[in-house]
Amino acid sequence: MAIQENNNLLTVLIVEDNPGDLFLLEETLRMTRLPFDSILKATSAAAAIDMLRQRPISVVLLDLSLPDSSGFNSYEQVNEYASAIPIIVLTGLADMDLALETMASGAQDYLIKGEFDERLLAKSIQYSIERNRIRESLRESNESYRNLFYNNPLPIFIWDINTFQILEVNDVAQEEYGYTRDELLGMSMFDLRPEDDHERTRIFVREFVETGITRKTGIWHHRKRDGEMMVLDISSHKIEYKGRTAILAIHNNITEKVRLEEKLEEERLMKQKEITEATIQVQEKERYEISTELHDNVNQQLTVAMMYIASAQQKLPEGSELLKQSSGFILNAIEEIRKLSQNLVTPLIKHFGLSKAVEGLLDDVSAVNTLQIELTADTFYEEDIIYDFKLSLFRIVQEQMNNILKHAHASNVNIELARTDKNIFLRIIDDGIGFNPKQQRKGIGIYNIISRADLYNGLVDIQSSPGKGCSISISFPLEENILV
């Protein structure tokens, strides 16, 4: 194992076998502007171990899914030759538990693939290197330990495992929290943590006492003197301190990291909304073009055919009955195309409003089905609502009515449109055969409903079970983006 000596240049070892992920990670590393000596790459655990044996390494970025190992085994193999080198685990959202398990075994940090940028990566590397230096220093003599404790770049607390009383803090802790040393020594951990975390703290201590573990990591919220809440990644160690069983806790402030992750998630959701909105706009444009083609071309040709039939009836009286029947078929086709055209572009919304458009849709459904449908919209005021939002509501009703007609075998449907000072509500209830919402959410119909609701921050609640019908309730906040 070769450990890089303390200098200003960093040697990073990336252990990743996916070319795309490797490329993105290397580019993100370069964007951090950290002082790199070199960036090394290994595509397997064996290759990584060879590099660790041969040259100094500052930090390892480790993907757990490798050709010659996977999961926790990947970490164990590499860590055996890099126990003194900080390891940052690269993981997906589905492997969070595994990432936390590696941290409990000594990994310095984890990053979720696709959820970090160069700033977050730089901080993770810097903090991991710092935490690793702390961990290695703790193995030294008691004098070195004292120097490390009081001069550590991260806040460190020692507190009594039985009374929760704070027994010792370092200088950085005083600076971070805004209290003097004497003030902190007169406090307990409950004074720093929100009330919601008090019971969790008691459970945390019981695990140390009852299971015999000596080290545990976790995410906690602490409050500064000025009231600001911090998010901390705390590494806790069970120790004996002046004859008392205590916890030595190293606090890593990850508030900025969490905020960056939340911001990235917000940006991802915003991008998803933009994609959904663009998709819906394309769909509506296609609907309009098809409707126009049906109305302006197909219907016109059918009208001309009607004129020819009328002329033929006058000239060929012996075939008038057949021509009359043909004329009737064409009239029916024209009427069906007219209805289809209306459903595609929903002109009733612009001219008469959403309630009337939904009524028209339900009338068309009732005309060809025995389904009993009741619409309630007494409190739904729509004069100040934008057209696109009303169109989305119409499409949701249309989508769910199609689902009911195709799958529900229902006898009754109740639809409610309502509005309050703060929300707009849409509820569709049927007494059909029902379904399992967890399975059905994968269907395109439910997906379309949820996607349209998401565009306007709608909360979708689907209640159903086999044999008990279905209730879809959507609540939209009455925000500026849906008002004229």
* Residue 442 reports pLDDT greater than 60: no
Range of lowest pLDDT (181-190, 237-246, 275-284, 451-460)? 275-284
Residue 106 CA to residue 394 CA, distance in Å, equals: 55
pLDDT tens profile 161-213: 999 999 999 999 999 999 999 999 999 999 999 999 999 999 999 998 888 88
In DSSP notation, 359-396 reads: HHHHHHHHHT---EEEEE-TT---TTB-HHHHHHHHHH
Residue 75 CA to residue 65 CA, distance in Å, equals: 10
Residue pair 432/410 in contact (Cβ under 8 Å)? The answer is yes
pLDDT tens profile 204-239: 999 988 888 888 899 999 999 999 999 999 999 999
Count the Cβ atoms, other than its own, within 10 Å of residue 231.
Answer: 16
Count the Cβ atoms, other than its own, within 10 Å of residue 317.
Answer: 10
Query: pLDDT: is 61 or 278 the higher one?
Result: 61
pTM of the model: 0.44
Average pLDDT over residues 346-373: 84
* Residue 159 reports pLDDT greater than 70: yes
* Residue 3 reports pLDDT greater than 60: no
Range of lowest pLDDT (69-73, 132-136, 237-241, 330-334)? 330-334
pLDDT tens profile 247-259: 999 999 999 988 8
Q: What percent of the chain has pLDDT over 70?
A: 83
The angle formed by the CA atoms of residues 167, 169 and 174, to the nearest 5 degrees, is 135
* Residue 319 reports pLDDT greater than 90: no
* Residue 334 reports pLDDT greater than 70: no
Rounding to the nearest 10 degrees, give the CA dihedral for residues 244, 246, 248, 254: -150
CB burial readout 339-373, b (16+ within 10 A) else e: eebbbbbbebbeeebbbebbbbbbeebeeeeebeb
* Residue 67 reports pLDDT greater than 90: yes
- Return the half-sphere exposure (C-beta side, CA atoms, 13 A cut-off) of residue 479: 9
Amino acid occupying residue 372: Q
Q: What percent of the chain has pLDDT over 90?
A: 48
* Residue 441 reports pLDDT greater than 60: no
Residue 140 CA to residue 118 CA, distance in Å, equals: 34
* Residue 316 reports pLDDT greater than 80: no
> For residue 229, what are the contacts with CB-CB under 8 A and spacing of at least 6?
194, 221, 222, 223
Residue 137: what pLDDT?
A: 72
Count the Cβ atoms, other than its own, within 10 Å of residue 24.
Answer: 14
Residue 463 CA to residue 107 CA, distance in Å, equals: 43
Residue pair 238/245 in contact (Cβ under 8 Å)? The answer is yes
pLDDT tens profile 375-424: 999 999 999 999 889 988 998 998 898 889 888 889 999 999 999 999 99
CB burial readout 186-221, b (16+ within 10 A) else e: ebebeebbeeebeeebeebbeebeeeeeeebbeebe
Instruction: Give all strands of the β-sheet with 412-419 in edge-to-edge order.
Output: 372-376, 412-419, 423-430, 470-477, 459-464
In terms of residues, how long is the chain?
A: 484
Question: The dihedral of CA 136, 137, 142, 148: what is its sign?
Answer: negative
Rounding to the nearest 10 degrees, give the CA dihedral for residues 452, 456, 458, 462: 0
Average pLDDT over residues 480-484: 86
| Secondary structure of residue 215 in the 3-state scheme | strand
Residue 290: what pLDDT?
A: 67
Residue 50: what pLDDT?
A: 93
